[in-house]
Structure 1
Amino acid sequence: MEAKKTPKADLTKKTGMFLNLGLMISVGLVLFAFEYKSYDDGVLQDFGPIDDDFEELLDIPITEQPPPPPPPVEQPEIKEIPDEVEIEEKIEVNFDVDVQEETVIKEVVIEEAPVVEKAEEIFDVVENMPTPPGGMEGWNKYLSKNLKYPTQARRMGIEGTVYVVFVVNTDGSIQDVGILRGVGGGCDEEAVRVVKNAPAWEPGRQRGRPVRVKMRLPIRFKLS
């Protein structure tokens, strides 16, 4: 048989009140711990009056430097130039000249000074250009007879046009043979050889006088 408790002895009914009461006490203790302040009961010491010399400090003025003096202005030196001395020349004119009516005065003809051409001057264009023996037809015959196709160029299949430059002298001889544009394979050297061994040309003429002229000619190498 279970023992029955009286309603007054049942403590579970007051658990909420005890819980709230405990929380209030805990919060109060925490607040008290944070807000509690303690002070040391120390004795203030009197060090006596402090002697300061602030009033005795001198008021030092700010040093002002004067601006530098301006550079001296150099005055231009004025030199006195004496007046020019007038030189009087006495020109004696003799009017005692017998002029006869039969005297014939020749007209003065002013001729243009001849143009002196330099013998060593080389022209690019003249009135009469140099020509090979037999003209250009004779030149082509000379090339076809004397020009040899290089073995290296033939083996490598090289063909093209070599541009040769040379100077025709006043006696028709050829000198200063060079290459303006070559194709290689020995063709350039063969073109120079043929031109150097060419017969004398008819020299170029400027105002009827033979002059030195620079020529430029193409020599074509073509495989047959």
Structure 2
Amino acid sequence: MEPKKNPKADLRKNSALYFVLGLFVVMLLVFIAFEWKTYDKVADYDISLNVEDALDEEVPMTEQIKTPPPPPPPAAPEVIEVVEDEEEVEETVIESTETSQEEEIIEVEDVEVEEDDIDVDVPFAVIEDVPVFPGCEGASDKRACFNEMMQKHIIKNFRYPEIAQEMGVQGRVSVMFTIQKDGSIGNIRYRGPDKNLEAEALRIIQKLPKMTPGKQRGRAVRVPFSIPIVFKLQ
């Protein structure tokens, strides 16, 4: 059987040549695309034409400032006539306080200077003669006796406030007072955790008896004293 197609019309003939030519054309276009350059448009006009010649401009002349003339010199002062004061001035005579040999010198007797009664506070720990608590007059160590009698007084008069017991309040109240120069108790100060405990501590100190005042260098002085009162629930 004979073929129907013409052997000259075979499309596969020379296909390799066409492929190479096509590849060459594509590579050439890619190369031209990479090497293509563009430039900005540059103005061709002359820049110097827009610059005006500043030398041709006329510069105005500066007006001359006229300074005012200096002021005239001041007139010469008038001659002042000195008029003598006709009033007479009395001279003050200062007498000398120095004594002459003829005057007698009176001797002044020695004047006794009374010492001012200055109020001072001498702490209990350093005072020479401590205040004497009633009952300690014959004690050899009045300082130790004073502290012992203070403890007995607190224990004897101690009473725990009922409202503080119900509330479960307890603690220590620091009390400070002053034994005055007449032996009385004054200037009572206190500080504690509860006002009911403070009131009880104040009541105990106010019941202290009158004492023999403390002395410093033989003179009665005020003596500050502090003591803690402990309130503790059993």
Please tell me the TM-score bracket, short chain as reference: 0.5 to 0.7
Cα 1:216–1:14 change in 2 (3 A) is same
Give the C-alpha shift of residue 166 in structure 1. 0.8
Aligned to 1:73: none
Give the C-alpha shift of residue 219 in structure 1. 2.6
Question: 1:70-108 CA distances to partner (integer Å, 9 max, x unpaired)?
Answer: xxxxxxxxxxxxxxxxxxx9x88749x9xxxxxxxxxxx
Aligned to 1:195: 205
> Amino acid of the residue matched to residue 16 of structure 1?
A
CA distance in 1, matches of 2:99, 2:135: 73
1:173 aligns with 2:197: no
Query: Structure 1 vs Structure 2: percent identity of aligned residues?
Result: 35
Contact 1:133–1:199 (Cα < 8 Å) also in 2: yes
1:184 aligns with 2:183: no
Indicate the SS of the match to 2:177.
strand
CA distance in 2, matches of 1:197, 1:117: 29
Aligned to 1:123: 122
Give the C-alpha shift of residue 151 in structure 1. 0.9
Moved more, 122-131 or 7-16: 7-16
Aligned residues: 170
> Amino acid of the residue matched to residue 204 of structure 2?
V
1:56 aligns with 2:56: yes
CA distance in 1, matches of 2:21, 2:27: 10
Give the C-alpha shift of residue 127 in structure 1. 1.6
Cα 1:199–1:53 change in 2 (3 A) is same
Cα 1:132–1:219 change in 2 (3 A) is farther
Aligned to 2:215: 205
CA distance in 2, matches of 1:189, 1:169: 22
Give the C-alpha shift of residue 13 in structure 1. 2.4
CA distance in 1, matches of 2:169, 2:220: 39
Give the C-alpha shift of residue 27 in structure 1. 7.1
Give the C-alpha shift of residue 171 in structure 1. 0.9
Over the aligned positions, Cα root-mean-square deviation in angstroms equals: 4.6
> Amino acid of the residue matched to residue 155 of structure 1?
E
Q: TM-score, normalised by structure 2?
A: 0.52
> Amino acid of the residue matched to residue 174 of structure 1?
I
Question: 1:117-165 CA distances to partner (integer Å, 9 max, x unpaired)?
Answer: 413x333242222232124344334333322221123334444442211
Question: 1:2-24 CA distances to partner (integer Å, 9 max, x unpaired)?
Answer: 33878666553222224444565
Cα 1:25–1:215 change in 2 (3 A) is closer
Indicate the SS of the match to 1:122.
coil
Cα 1:156–1:131 change in 2 (3 A) is farther
Contact 1:159–1:223 (Cα < 8 Å) also in 2: yes
Alignment map for 1:74-153 (pairs within 5 Å): 94=101, 116-119=116-119, 121-125=120-124, 126-135=127-136, 136=146, 137-153=148-164
CA distance in 1, matches of 2:228, 2:21: 127
